[in-house]
Chains A and B, each alone.
With several copies, the nearest count.
Chain A
Amino acid sequence: MYSEKVMDHFNHPRNVGEIEDPSGVGTVGNAKCGDIMRMYLDIDDNGIIQEAKFKTFGCGAAIATSSMATELVKGKTVQEALEVTNKAVMEALDGLPPVKVHCSLLAEEAIHAALWDYAKKNGIVIEGLKEPVSDIEERVDAE
């Protein structure tokens, strides 16, 4: 059901992991399916994304879109990163099955959430960036 590119990113996800002291980090949950994605960004003084990492609790599409999203934002300016929409991610992956379109929204929102965090931390306003709608509490179980 998934394209070859999706399977490639699912099987060999790029940029899995965490960034210590990230410029911005955002965790979003997908209310529709309960899946969770966390995105870390390392942004330099020129506002260019040097590094992007992710952790995802989600379906195959969620993992592949996380991976692709981190690839796409790397090297981009903050403004350019805003254009990495879920559509862009899907296109880069040669599409997703209809029931999986919402998974790519998770990636878009995770980028936005990380950028929001970055903006907040630095007291700046990123034009066109709205407060992420579904930034959810981390639900890591203490147990």
Chain B
Amino acid sequence: MEKLIYLDNAATTQVYPEVFEEMKPYFTEYYGNPSSVYQFAQESKNKVERAREEIAEMLNAKPEEIYFTGGGSESDNWALVATAETYAKKGKHIITSKIEHHAILHTCEYLESRGYEVTYLDVDENGLIDLEQLKKSIREDTILISIMSANNEIGTIQPIAEIGKIAKEHEIFFHTDAVQAFGHIPIDVEEMRIDMLSASGHKIHGPKGIGFLYIRKNVRIGAFIHGGSQERGKRAGTHNVPGIVGLAAAAKIAKENLESNIKYETKLRDYAISRIENEIPFAVLSGHRTKRLPNNIHFCFRFIEGESMLILLDQAGICGSSGSACTSGSLDPSHVLLAIGRPHEIAHGSLRLTLSEKNTKEEIDKVVDELKKIIERLRSMSPLYED
């Protein structure tokens, strides 16, 4: 078979070989539990603490504000549930947006079932929230604003610093799901006045099953996973040392290459977008044209359906997705596409291609060429398309 063209880096990424090399010794060699007292475990412990420092530095945070978790979903759940519980006395109202990841939305629903109230902000046709609506939604009893840094489907980047400012002015905590943004665009928790931030290892060429939650010092939320005294008593469970090492190694590489990756991917992204728009009729770009993740290409192709497109792409050796990986299996159209106003049958024909800096122009050319054929073929079968 020809070399695979992997364009689903928003679903998950390859662990970089150099990241894996760093992780390796911590499986079979330095396997000690960082909580143990003997020397042998100090290597693990030191490595965990160095990882914490590196990640903190990247965000302009303090090491003791970084808490390792089992992934982005856990971080999101923790931020929401624990803030709700800890600050229930202050109020029970949370503001979020309609296009959050399910790790936020379903946790909000869970909190609603426990008596909390949630306001889901609208987004415009580009996926941007309206800061005025945000301000108007703030109430006496609002305790948390949770708005994602960048959307996992359509790539739109929210005005995080502005949201942070509004939250700060109203003395409300601001959490951002940065799972798609961390390591992909610059984030500074001070400048952007972020109080909590979720991130995940496997979206930045680190390992799966590891993530972190940044918690600003003045946010005194309780634990979500209760038990041992790891992570200063806030997150129980034996440290996943190789995972933490891999997360930090990947973050470091991402940090070092941030600018060049952004430049390179943006160019590739815009090249793909312009070829698709010029060569495939009835193709509608989703998300904001410039306020978007450098690696995100998302289109709705009218008159056809996503899965068929994906299977045919797959047969051509191309990995893409039709929305978020973790909702595949669901038949509902993407809540994100509905929120930006796409009608049901248009939302159906969605395709997301997400780059890494390893992708090339040649790959993009091949993909667009294939795509043209595939879409033509599927449209010829479609009862909705009359040529």
Q: Do A and B bind each other?
A: yes
Asked if A65 lies at the interface with its beta carbon under 8 angstroms from chain B, I say no
With A57-B345, A139-B345 in contact, is A34–B333 under 8 Å at CB? yes
B contact face: mostly helix, strand, loop, or mixed: loop
- Chain B residues 34-63 with CB under 8 Å of chain A are 37, 42
Whether the pair A16, B304 counts as a contact (CB closer than 8 A) is: no
Q: Which residue of B lies closest to A139 (CB)?
A: B345
Whether the pair A10, B381 counts as a contact (CB closer than 8 A) is: no
Give the number of chain B interface residues (Cβ < 8 Å): 25
Whether the pair B305, A27 counts as a contact (CB closer than 8 A) is: no
Asked if B218 lies at the interface with its beta carbon under 8 angstroms from chain A, I say no
Alpha-carbon separation in the docked complex, A32 to B315 (Å): 27
Whether the pair A140, B384 counts as a contact (CB closer than 8 A) is: yes
Asked if A84 lies at the interface with its beta carbon under 8 angstroms from chain B, I say no
With A57-B345, A58-B305 in contact, is A33–B331 under 8 Å at CB? yes
Asked if B290 lies at the interface with its beta carbon under 8 angstroms from chain A, I say no
Query: Contact partner of A57 among B315, B332, B383, CB < 8 A?
Result: B383
Q: Given the complex, which residues of A lie within 8 Å of B315, measured CB to CB?
A: 11
Interface residues on A, range: 20 to 34
User: Chain A's nearest CB lies how many Å from the CB of B330?
Assistant: 8
Whether the pair A141, B305 counts as a contact (CB closer than 8 A) is: no
User: Chain B's nearest CB lies how many Å from the CB of A41?
Assistant: 15
Asked if B352 lies at the interface with its beta carbon under 8 angstroms from chain A, I say no
Nearest 8 Cβ contacts at the A-B interface = A55-B383, A59-B307, A38-B383, A33-B331, A57-B382, A60-B311, A34-B344, A57-B384
With A32-B331, A141-B302 in contact, is A55–B37 under 8 Å at CB? no
Alpha-carbon separation in the docked complex, A32 to B42 (Å): 26
With A99-B331, A139-B345, A140-B386 in contact, is A60–B307 under 8 Å at CB? yes
User: Chain A's nearest CB lies how many Å from the CB of B348?
Assistant: 6
Q: Given the complex, which residues of A lie within 8 Å of B42, measured CB to CB?
A: 1
Asked if B329 lies at the interface with its beta carbon under 8 angstroms from chain A, I say yes
Asked if B380 lies at the interface with its beta carbon under 8 angstroms from chain A, I say yes
Q: Given the complex, which residues of B lie within 8 Å of A13, measured CB to CB?
A: 381
Asked if B137 lies at the interface with its beta carbon under 8 angstroms from chain A, I say no
9 A-B pairs besides A34-B348, A57-B382, A59-B307 with CB distance below 8 A are A10-B311, A16-B381, A27-B383, A34-B344, A34-B345, A56-B381, A57-B305, A57-B383, A60-B311
Alpha-carbon separation in the docked complex, A34 to B345 (Å): 7
Whether the pair A138, B383 counts as a contact (CB closer than 8 A) is: yes
Alpha-carbon separation in the docked complex, A6 to B329 (Å): 17
